[in-house]
Amino acid sequence: MSEDTSHFYVTTPIYYVNDKPHIGHAYTTILADVLANYNRLLNIPTHFLTGTDEHGQKVQEAASVKGITPKEQCDQTVVRFEELWKRLEIKNDDFIRTTEKRHTDVVQKTLQDLFDRGEIYKGEYQGWYCVSSERFLTEKDLTDENSPDYGRPVESIIESNYFFKMSKYQDWLIDYIETNPDFIQPAFRANETLGFLKKKPLQDLCISRPKSRLEWGIELPFDSDFVTYVWFDALINYISAVGYRSDESMFNDLWPCSCHLIGKDILTTHTVYWPTMLKAMGLEMPQSIFAHGWWLTGRTKMSKSLGNVVDPMEMIDRYGVDAFRYFLVAEMKLGQDASFTEEAFVKRYNSDLANDLGNVANRVLNMICRYCNNRIPPLPVLTTLDAEAGANEVLKAVEDAVTNSGDYIRDMKLDSAVALIMAAVRSINVYLQERAPWAAAKEGRWADVETSLYVAADALQRCAALLHPIMPEKMLKLRSALGVQELVPVLDKIRSFGELKSGLEVNQPDALFPRVEFKATELEVPKKKKKEKTMEPTTSEDGLITFDQVMAVQMKTARIVEAEKIEDADRLLKLQVDLGDEKRQIVAGIALHYAPESLLNKTVVVVVNLKPAKLRGVISEGMLLAASAGDELQLVSIGGDLPPGSVVK
């Protein structure tokens, strides 16, 4: 993501109106909303665009099935997107429909200009056509005579059409991508586009469809027998919505776009078609095009035909909008695919939101109301905190979140930013346990009570501000309960300890995130219970094991947070590890190879479904993976930014 602080302009793809929105639409739009909200937190002028793609063959066919006009199909379906964005707390600055005059005028002016300058010519096309992607394909593009993107049969077509001279920009585009490493993200997607460009000569792009085959589209200004190819029409929304050819001042303020957010399935259209179109128009390239992964059910892509698509409305009704937004942002590592199951959703909800954030909010608010007459206690002197148990640790954790979560967000590592903020939230709970203000109150040590509760309240409101871009409704409610009246937090006001004003009136709302129980629904198809098998400790005669035996072992990444020697056991260390949604104790025979202090914050691989055992009277709830050769032993560790609890496959 761009570090330009003059403005932030983020877009989603515009969504087809041939059917109702699903989790894929919701995810991209929530990501854009979080990025826009974070830049508003930084007080950066922000513009967030989304909308609907309303032309093309799929829309015409959907309308035909219902016996209505394409425009009626668009008008009926667009409402579903607008309603969902309201339910999801999406704060987009603009919503564009490609049937609007402000868009169709720009498309026609752009086409005429390119035609007049010889960038568009008429020719004959003979080949294959994919209805699903509305793309012409060559023989080499096909996979077993099917579309490579959708796996569906293609049609053989011969017809006259108009073509954009895309091929002339092939060498330029390769050079641009190679010399601008931030242009296509993640980096492996840039390599994917480069592989496509270098594999074979780039073809010119057919940018028209004859009305004899397709009537629903923007008419070509230079030939009334044709309409515009839906992708050439749709991509222009990114500039037509911000004043291109209509409001020069607005366009100059907002273009180039800071970040186009897309799904990986539309990578080619956005990283090949769109840059070459912009080059021909004489416009700057967007600063970044980021392609995220798919949400899967298990290991299968969600698909309407398979009946495994998650309905965002149902999840919001069941668990609340903020919890849904939180899960999507926290669960997926941007750029990679992620699995959505309701069971995983409930597990993270209870762990992060009910147990950690909800619990600490309830404790802090309850004790301030009980011991401080419903008022934020006096600001303690910083020098007195140095001697107070745990104060420096919680302040450091919050400072770390305030200072470094933004770096993660700018690097499009939103899940890592969430993990950092939630670590700060958990540090407040640890601090309260160590300080025990309830015990101090019983003993009449009111100065200690006030100091502890101010530190906890100040840390909590700063964490709530950092989580506001993800969960705006709940975090507004929490900050309001702490007496903070700002509707939208500003990062500069939470950078330092002590910004929470003493004397603010505190109230205790209902539980922010009440615990929930997982119950199998239509989102989760219950599996038939299998008769338990006893795994024999021996292997087969050839020493090999089965695939099922391998898959029975469950491994996750874990961060070591505590390590100490076990008394009278030279080889054993007692470790406390963070698995993301829980903490576990593991006894490991590595004391001869690792000093306890050298293990802190090390990310290792843990077998998590090993039956607990006692070693020297100490419970061990898992096993670390290690490699050995002779007298040497090394733990299997994980580099990069994988959070604790990531599944090792």
Q: What is the pLDDT of residue 534?
A: 39
CB atoms within 10 A of CB 525: 10
pLDDT surpassing 80 at residue 462: yes
CA atoms of 142 and 306, how far apart (whole Å): 23
Q: Which amino acid is at 254?
A: L
Where do the domains of the chain lie, and which CATH numbers do they carry? 8-292 (3.40.50.620), 341-493 (1.10.730.10), 547-648 (2.40.50.140)
Is residue 93 a contact partner of residue 99, using CB atoms and an 8 Å limit?
no
φ/ψ (deg, to 5) at 395: -65, -40
User: Which H or E run includes 407?
Assistant: helix 391-410
pTM of the model: 0.76
Is pLDDT larger for residue 298 or for residue 115?
Answer: 115
State the average pLDDT over residues 228-235.
95
CA atoms of 241 and 48, how far apart (whole Å): 11
Contacts of residue 230, Cβ cutoff 8 Å, sequence gap at least 6: 53, 55, 56, 57, 134, 217
CA atoms of 591 and 576, how far apart (whole Å): 15
CA atoms of 67 and 372, how far apart (whole Å): 67
**DSSP symbol at 499:** -
CA atoms of 280 and 290, how far apart (whole Å): 22
Q: What is the pLDDT of residue 525?
A: 43
User: Which H or E run includes 438?
Assistant: helix 437-442
CA atoms of 34 and 467, how far apart (whole Å): 10
121: its two tokens: 């010519």
Q: CB-hemisphere CA count at 13 Å for 161?
A: 24
Helices (H), 200-308: 230-235, 237-240, 248-254, 267-268, 274-281
Q: Which amino acid is at 352?
A: D
| β-bridge pairing 120-130 and 135-137 | antiparallel
DSSP letter for each residue of 550-582: HHT--EEEEEEEEEEEPTT-TT-EEEEEE-SS-
φ/ψ (deg, to 5) at 514: -65, 145
With b for 16 or more beta-carbon neighbours within 10 A and e for fewer, the 51-68 pattern comes to bbbbbbbbbbbbbeeeee
pLDDT tier, 539 (very low <50, low <70, confident <90, very high otherwise): very low
Share of the chain above pLDDT 70, in %: 85
Is pLDDT larger for residue 137 or for residue 542?
Answer: 137
Beta bridge partners of 124: 160
Q: What is the pLDDT of residue 151?
A: 63
To which residue do tokens 């001042």 refer? 249
CA atoms of 616 and 606, how far apart (whole Å): 20
Please state, rounded to an integer, the average pLDDT across all residues of the chain.
Answer: 86
Closest-CA residue to 435 (of 373, 392, 497): 392
* Lowest-confidence region among 19-28, 183-192, 259-268: 19-28
pLDDT surpassing 80 at residue 632: no
CA atoms of 317 and 314, how far apart (whole Å): 5
pLDDT tier, 355 (very low <50, low <70, confident <90, very high otherwise): very high
Compute CA distances 345 → 28, 328, 351, 352, 518, whole Å.
18, 9, 10, 11, 9
For residue 475, how far is the Cα from the chain centroid?
19
**DSSP symbol at 257:** P
φ/ψ (deg, to 5) at 137: -130, 150
